[in-house]
Structure 1
Amino acid sequence: MDVFSGAKNCPNETVWGPQASFRTAERTLIWNVPLEELEHVPEHWFNHPAPEPIYNYILGLVYMFYMFFSFVGNGLVIWIFSSAKSLRTPSNMFVVNLAICDLLMMVKIPIFIYNSFNLGFAAGHLGCQIFGTIGSFSGIGASATNAAIAYDRYNVIAKPFDGKMSRGKAFLIILLIWAYVTPWSIMPLFEVWSRFVPEGFLTSCSFDYLTKTDSIRYFTAVMFLICYCIPMSMIIYYYSQIVNHVVNHEKALRKQAKKMNVDSLRSNQAQQSMSAEVRIAKVAITICFLFVAAWTPYAIVALIGAFGNQSLLTPVVTMIPALACKSVACIDPYVYAISHPRYRVELAKRIPWLRIKETPTASETQSTVTESTVSATPAVTATECN
């Protein structure tokens, strides 16, 4: 029996236990947390008043919409990029991996919804560990995958002849991404270094950035470096190089065309090919911008919690970055639906009632024919040799 059960409606009733003062003055965040679960909640949240139930219900509904739209959008991306021959390229393996990360992020949402409609830490410590572990794998995995996409786009545009990604190399990079992610997800789970704890309205969980110990501070600093600064630096570097390359290349072409007294040195097919690559690069840049916009607030909150003024971190303040992170997992696939040329073509073929108007360019058609011819050539040669 919970000795605090009467405190939520009767603030003047005598309450026993070390947390009595937190529960009797007003309903706080921990008002319905079982006594045996209190050790898993950072003390920072003990004095914060509980939100009105309506806010939990609204967040629960918002996350239900997130989950629905993410499953539909990312499911389509995984299906089409995996099944369409024109999209089964080494570069697009990173796109599929990002969609898997975004989809994985939604797998934990039922725990949040359950907590929200039960007004707090209802799923308990076990639910928190599941939520935190999945969130860590999906969040860090998405950041590393965005960095890999930036690297690939840089090679395709800035090094078109010697920068082509092979299927084996792409697969190896994806394996390295998950190897990179795993330690930072497993260590808090088994409390080898840091731990997963509830945050905000105690309905979501993340790694501990509030406990005032050197170990927690060091972990937060390393996480900030490994999981935010390094991927972010790669993203900024590679996309700045892409922009620089495109600008310089266009200047050189215009200069040469002027010397030769022609309007342009590009053939129609070359223009279409470059246009498609630039459109794909724009998609990648948009998604990486969304990643920056989503995860920067979380990084700032974690740094404030570990090294700054913790009084700034109210439950509402810490819920905002969590909302931003989940929103990106929903938006990513629809960015592809709007902007990625080949994806739009395949989407129009498979789901015609969406009425997407996109036709393959001559360069894409030629590319597909060339790939088919090249793949058929070895078989013909083998037959002739026999």
Structure 2
Amino acid sequence: MGPFFANSTFQSKITEEADIVVGICYIVFGICSLCGNSILLYVSYKKKNLLKPAEYFIINLSISDVGMTLTLYPLAVTSSLSHRWLYGKHICLFYAFCGVLFGICSLSTLTLLSTVCCLKICFPAYGNRFKREHGRILIACAWTYAAIFACSPLAHWGEYGEEPYGTACCIDWRSTNVHVMSMSYTVVLFVFCFILPCGVIITSYSLILITVKGSRRAVEQHVSGPTRMNNVQTITAKLSIAVCIGFFAAWSPYAIIAMWAAFGSIDKIPPLAFAIPAVFAKSSTLYNPVIYLLLKPNFRSTIAKDFTVLRQLCIRSCFCVKMLQTYRLTLNTGLRTFKVKSESRCNALPIVEGCSYFPSEKHGDTFEYFKSCPKCCQEKLSAMGSPSQESAALENNLLVKMREGSKKSVKVIVRGEKSTELENLEITLEAVPVHCAFTDL
């Protein structure tokens, strides 16, 4: 590249406070542009079967704006806040290439949009033949046209370099006064990428305004025919005019300063005079969705409907998450409580040997077993510790019942027959309170 680019130190030429303001502006513009154009593309995708051929150019303009936002804004923001260009020579070339590519593509798209609107409104016999396939072909031509001018400095027809204010890159305007090739490239760029598109756009919308005026007169005179204009065409024309006005309002200051630097004395231009138009030029990426939001009712209604659905989904998801968390907390608490109670009950009611209805060891005399059973159970239960208050209360109730039952009389009738092999006993218990106390548990 040029000598200035090779010897550049990539230091900012404006004050640090101005760089911070520029960086903040880039942050705001970048967020608004990315959100607005993404919403516009989303709505266009949802209504892709209802799109008019001319609206394909608006979609392409949004794609170009998103590309510029994603490639230029992050580099410009970080460099402005750092008060110098951070990324070196090769990223500077990439930055300049993307700026020229997306800028010329946007301008070419607006030029084609104005031409198609003019054909549909002013010359409906030709405009009604315009189909979606024609729109796609013209969009491909717009990208090819922009790519030719963006790649030319990489092929040494023109040069890329640092902007005069130091924290961004674009066409090297200084080399225009030094190299003949750079001068020729700048002249061709100025004619075919600014003057000619401006002329086509102004001519197209002038014809549209004249036709609209004639259509209003025809409507007032109740005349039907080709002079009456469709309402959809009127809305499309208003949108395209507003988008073009916004684009030229953003880029015209930078174009004027650039031509002054290319064909005049760049040393007489203060760096801040380059920085401010550059900020306005990059703000062109957010005009397209804002204009659509203000001027197209269907666009607003679709956004409002989708945002209502999105809000309901968010509310439902938040409610479900909250309910799930509450359910999990309640379930965990219940499980812990159940586990503690189960452990306490298991510890409170152990298996006490010698207190079963069926004796664990063989007694020689039945009367001795029933006589010793309450005493045995009382001793073993009192010897074991109470793990909890509930188990202690349970043991106390058990002892009270056993004491109450031990005071009652027990009538036992024993009938048996002696033999050499077995000793059969038939015992009839009329009242055994201790046994009842154990079976109740």
Fold shared by both chains (TM-score > 0.5): yes
* 2:168 equivalent among 182, 195, 204: 204
CA drift at 1:146: 0.4
Does the C-alpha gap of structure 1 residues 293 and 170 become closer, same or farther in structure 2, counting only changes over 3 Å?
Answer: same
* CA–CA separation in structure 2 for the residues paired with 1:63 and 1:252: 48
Deviation at 1:42, TM superposition (A): 7.9
Q: How does 1:112-127 map to 2 (within 5 A)?
A: 112-127=76-91
The question of 1:65 aligning with 2:24 is answered no
Paired residues of 2:23 and 2:80 also in contact (CA < 8 A): yes
Q: Which residue of structure 2 lines up, in the alignment, with residue 182 of structure 1?
A: 147
Q: What TM-score do the two structures reach when normalised by structure 2?
A: 0.64
Task: Give yes or no for the alignment of 1:238 onto 2:204.
Answer: yes
Q: 1:251 to 1:91 in 2, by over 3 A?
A: same
Indicate whether 1:54 and 2:13 are aligned: no
CA distance, structure 2, for counterparts of residue 293 and residue 142 of structure 1: 14
Partner of 1:143: 107
Give 3-state SS (helix, strand or coil) of 1:194's partner.
coil
Partners of 1:186 and 1:68 in 2: CA distance: 29
Aligned ranges 1:295-334 → 2 under 5 Å: 295-334=251-290
Q: Percent identity?
A: 26
Partner of 2:121: 157
Going from structure 1 to structure 2, the CA distance change for 1:287 and 1:41 (only over 3 Å counts) comes to farther
CA distance in 2: counterparts of 1:218 and 1:91, whole angstroms: 34
**Amino acid of the residue matched to residue 207 of structure 2?**
Q
Could you tell me the TM-score, scaled by structure 1's length? 0.73
1:117 Cα deviation after fit: 2.1
Aligned partner of 2:5 in structure 1 is 40
State how far apart, in whole Å, the 2-side matches of 1:145 and 1:169 are: 13
84-93 or 195-204: bigger deviation? 84-93
Give the C-alpha shift of residue 341 in structure 1: 2.9
Q: Which has the larger radius of gyration?
A: 2
Please tell me whether residue 104 in structure 1 is matched to residue 54 in structure 2.
Answer: no
Which secondary structure state, in structure 2, belongs to the residue aligned with residue 197 of structure 1?
strand
Which of 79, 97, 104 is the aligned partner of 1:133?
97
How far apart, CA to CA, are the structure 2 residues paired with 1:309 and 1:56?
24
Query: Distance between the aligned counterparts of 1:226 and 1:349, measured in 2?
Result: 43
Q: 1:321 to 1:266 in 2, by over 3 A?
A: same
Which blocks of at least 5 consecutive residues in structure 1 are unaligned? 1-36, 258-263, 356-386
In structure 2, give the amino acid aligned to 1:88: L
1:173 maps to 2:154: no
Alpha-carbon distance change, 252 to 205 in structure 1, aligned in 2, over 3 angstroms: same
Cα distance in 2 for partners of 1:205, 1:144 equals 22
Question: Counterpart in 2 of 1:194?
Answer: 158
SS at match of 2:96: helix
SS at match of 2:127: coil
Task: Give the one of 208, 216, 219 matched to 2:182.
Answer: 216
1:91 aligns with 2:54: yes
Does 2:185 match 1:229? Answer: no
Is contact 2:76–2:168 with CA below 8 Å preserved after alignment? Answer: yes
1:75 correspondence with 2:75: no
1:267-278 equivalent positions in 2, closer than 5 A = 274-278=230-234
Is the alpha carbon distance of 1:71 and 1:87 closer, same or farther for their aligned partners in structure 2, counting shifts above 3 Å?
farther
8 Å contact 1:74–1:333 — kept in the other structure?
yes
Q: What do you get for the CA RMSD once the two structures are aligned?
A: 2.7
